Amino acid sequence: MSHYKSNLRDLRFNLFETLRIQDYLGTEAFPSMDADVADDVLVEVERLASDEFAASFTDADRNPPTLEDGVVTLPDSLKKSLHAYFDGGWQNLGIPTKFGGFGSPDALRWAAQEMLVGANPAAYFYASGTLMAVVLGETGTPEQVERFVKPMLDNNWGGTMVLTEPDAGSDVGSGTSKAVHIEGDTYHLEGVKRFITSGEHDFAENIIHLVLARREGGEPGTKGLSMFIVPKFLVNDDGSLGERNGIVATNLEKKMGIKASTTCELTMGMDEPCVGYLVGGVHQGIRQMFHIIEDARLLIGTKSAATLSTGYLNALEYANERIQSADMTEMADKTAPRVPIIDHPNVRRLLMTLKAYSEGLRAMFLYTAWTNDQAKLAEGDDATDWERRSDLLLPLLKGYASEVAYDQLGQALQVFGGSGFTQDYPLEQYIRDVKIDSLYEGTTGIQSLDLFFRKIAKDRGATLTSLAGEILETVKGGGEDDPFTDERAALGRALEHVQAQLGSMVGNLMNAQENPPEVYKVGLHTVGLLESLAEVVIAWLLITHAETAHRSLDSADGGDLPFYEGKIAAARWFTKTVLPEIAMRRTLAEAEDGSLMQVPKEAF
């Protein structure tokens, strides 16, 4: 049996009952499908994810890729999963029609990707290399599009984003990899990159690396970085593959989890010249690379949500099947029948918490994808506003989802007891595989700095104010017989606490203009702000879902009635048990005196 358990019903609920993507399917922006086709996509991807794609999840973890003489060999089981994905043409789902793809709206694309990345995240990382082709198609010269993008898509070449260096880490602007100009858009690259996902493997016949490096004479910091096309094998003028380029895997990281994903050290220009081509003929590397980074952050947030969801559903199945102890009302009776552990209060507490977080994170990443669709449907300033809202949500999704998934999968382990700690169940691998999510594409601390300084302070809170306005409409909604009065009130209080928390941090930032150490008070609470704001957004989305579910109760059949009741229960549980934590974060931020920064290093 497959380890993977999808939640197709909740995906349909998000897409068709709350986001209502059918209202814009078939429009000029998304002409290639209607609601029936979109639903068929979900059904077929669920089958692929649960069957062939999930099949190598365990084997590839136990028998991970190997590196020998610069060549990485993938296990056969993993290659079989990848062949099933590419043979079905699923790499074309999100590719724009102008590049020969299906042109799916983002909401549908990310719903499909949830199932794939939940079933086998390592495999999906290899498959997602087509994103590099799309970015290159948007930023490259016409000649580069013809020479590299077309064969990447036609031949399923791999693709990577190559940023991190051993000494620079997340301080990308400190990178020392250099590019020496040869002629035209051709350069020779030298340097070492680290933690490069899918940096080397033997599944694809070629890999196109998109590399950040500093051209000779380039200014310090990120502004001096350019992006280069660096193929594993050089591409001849007629499209055939030439000789091996001078970019080589010199190490394969040994990791605690997601072992089937090759995370490589790549060395450029060591024994052979490393040829790179300046993307678009312009030195705008960090701006170009951010097209990939933003998509990657959404992918990692979706991965976290997907892994938590299948972990929750595995725990739910176990709780219904595992018979242990008498009902709590009959504990004194030693002859009382044993019951499924889902009948025990603490197990129910664990399961409802898992359900609320799982469905809340799914709601957030699909809403974020939906905002991307709205940006494509809108024009002018409206499109810009939607793009900014998506940008605001990205650090929330990536930072919060990755932290919550790891924490809550640990709680899911409690449902299994000691059995969950063994390899008889997938939880132990889920926990190992998901921990990297809080580190990928910048740690949670870095995401929180991005949220405060770039997404809120930089536009003077305009985007956040717009979002808060919509949340406030939900707080004030409902009528005389509103069943969600308590939930709306809790959301309103939480929103006030977040606004006060943010206000104290902005005050400290302003004070730092005359007294720079005041900025430390901001830095001590940016993660707390990210957590609080993410919880407000999730509560808002869960309440809107509960409203939709409540309207559907009277017409629901026997199969759907428990589902809608569950949506209402999850919203009530989240607002009751999670939102109160925001008040504490506000209190801590307002009381911050910065004394931690005065503690001598030797005292730690």
Please write down the HEC assignment for all residues of 305-369. Answer: HHHHHHHHHHHHHHHHHCEEEECHHHCCCCCCCEEEHHHCHHHHHHHHHHHHHHHHHHHHHHHHH
Between CA 399 and CA 409, with CA 404 as vertex, the angle to 5 degrees is: 140
Distance between CA atoms of residues 520 and 542, nearest Å: 34
CB 122 within 8 Å of CB 149: no
**190, 359, 403, 441: which is the annotated catalytic residue?**
441
Helix (H, G, I), strand (E, B) or coil at 190: strand
Structure tokens at 105: 């709206």
Distance between CA atoms of residues 489 and 97, nearest Å: 45
Residues with Cβ within 8 Å of residue 421, at least 6 apart in sequence: 413, 428
Residues with Cβ within 8 Å of residue 330, at least 6 apart in sequence: 336
| Residue 572, CA atoms < 13 Å, CB-side half-sphere | 14
Q: Minimal CA–CA distance to 442: which of 282, 240, 290, 545?
A: 290
Structure tokens at 175: 């990178």
If you count them, how many residues does the chain have? 604
Distance between CA atoms of residues 224 and 214, nearest Å: 6
Output phi, psi for 264, to 5 deg. Answer: -115, 150
* DSSP letters spanning 511-555: HTTTSGGGHHHHHTTHHHHHHHHHHHHHHHHHHHHHHHHHHHTTT
What burial class does residue 521 get, using C-beta atoms within 10 Å of its C-beta: 0-12 exposed, 13-18 middle, 19+ buried? Answer: buried
Residue 441 bears catalytic tag: yes
- Residue 277: enclosing H or E segment and its boundaries? strand 275-278
What 334-341 contacts at long range (C-beta under 8 Å, 24+ apart), as own/partner pairs, is: 341/415
Distance between CA atoms of residues 465 and 581, nearest Å: 22
Distance between CA atoms of residues 324 and 138, nearest Å: 58
Distance between CA atoms of residues 8 and 355, nearest Å: 14
Distance between CA atoms of residues 386 and 463, nearest Å: 9
| Active site residue ranges | 441
